[in-house]
């Protein structure tokens, strides 16, 4: 996320959520990036009344994330499989303004499209951090894996604003900055 803010050719602030917005973060890990998103949308003590649902599948990561959430009201931790609409649905009662997916698991673009089409509001910002190494080797080399992912995005209701190649900052990583139609 930080690398893409440095690398974008557009106004980086357009990729960040606004104060008070409702956000979904898949692949929260121990909350490194989530804590910065919290600074943007909540402020100290959550005086802006923002909300971030921070999802991770790893109990180990969740242990630390829960401690961060205690200190930062506005972040809600969820131990769940981010690919499952059934597991996420009970915790998302209205569509979100901003969505970031950073999952180290195959089928990242398919998951991103499925979750965006279900939970991201029209005009909402969707950011996909795509890791070439997390896709299946059987899909081909890294370039081919990125092409496959881009095609999945292009065939969806998302519009790609920018494809940000993070080479030199994060190897084999691309961030797709998208908007829901
Ligand atoms: C690259 S790390 C995320 C780093 C984090 N976004 C940050 O910037 O600090 C990827 C995370 O995805 C999580 N993950 C992998 N598969 C997942 C799944 N199916 N559902 C939820 N989280 C998953 C891993 O546990 C890991 O914490």
Does ligand 1 lie within 6 Å of residue 175's CB atom? no
Cα dihedral sign for 168, 130, 92, 30? negative
Q: What is the pLDDT of residues 115-133, one digit of tens each?
A: 999 999 999 999 999 999 9
Rounded CA-CA distance 102/112 in Å is: 9
Q: What is the pLDDT of residues 34-47, one digit of tens each?
A: 999 999 999 999 99
Atom of ligand 1 nearest to the CA of 111: 19
- pLDDT at position 29 is 98
Q: Give me the chain's average pLDDT, please.
A: 97
What's the predicted TM-score (pTM) here? 0.98
Angle between helices 32-41 and 59-71 (to 10 degrees): 30
Averaged over 1-27, what is the pLDDT? 98
Rounded CA-CA distance 141/147 in Å is: 10
Averaged over 57-82, what is the pLDDT? 98
- pLDDT at position 58 is 98
In the chain the domains, ranked by start, together with CATH numbers, are 2-180 (3.40.50.150)
């Amino acid at each position: 996320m930080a690398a893409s803010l440095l690398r974008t050719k557009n106004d980086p602030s357009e990729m960040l959520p606004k104060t008070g917005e409702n956000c979904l973060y898949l692949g929260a890990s121990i909350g490194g990036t989530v804590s910065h998103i919290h600074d943007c949308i909540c402020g100290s003590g959550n005086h802006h009344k923002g909300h971030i649902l921070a999802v991770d599948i790893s109990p180990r990561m969740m242990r630390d994330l829960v401690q961060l959430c205690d200190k930062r009201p506005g972040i809600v931790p969820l131990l769940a499989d981010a690919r499952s609409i059934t597991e996420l649905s009970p915790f998302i009662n209205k569509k979100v303004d901003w969505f970031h997916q950073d999952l180290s698991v195959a089928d990242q673009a398919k998951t991103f499209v499925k979750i965006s089409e279900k939970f991201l509001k029209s005009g909402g910002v969707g950011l996909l951090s795509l890791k070439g190494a997390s896709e299946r080797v059987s899909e081909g080399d890294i370039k081919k894996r990125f092409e496959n992912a881009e095609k999945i995005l292009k065939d969806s209701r998302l519009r790609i604003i920018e494809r940000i190649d993070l080479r030199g900052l994060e190897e084999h990583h691309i961030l797709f900055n998208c908007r829901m139609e």
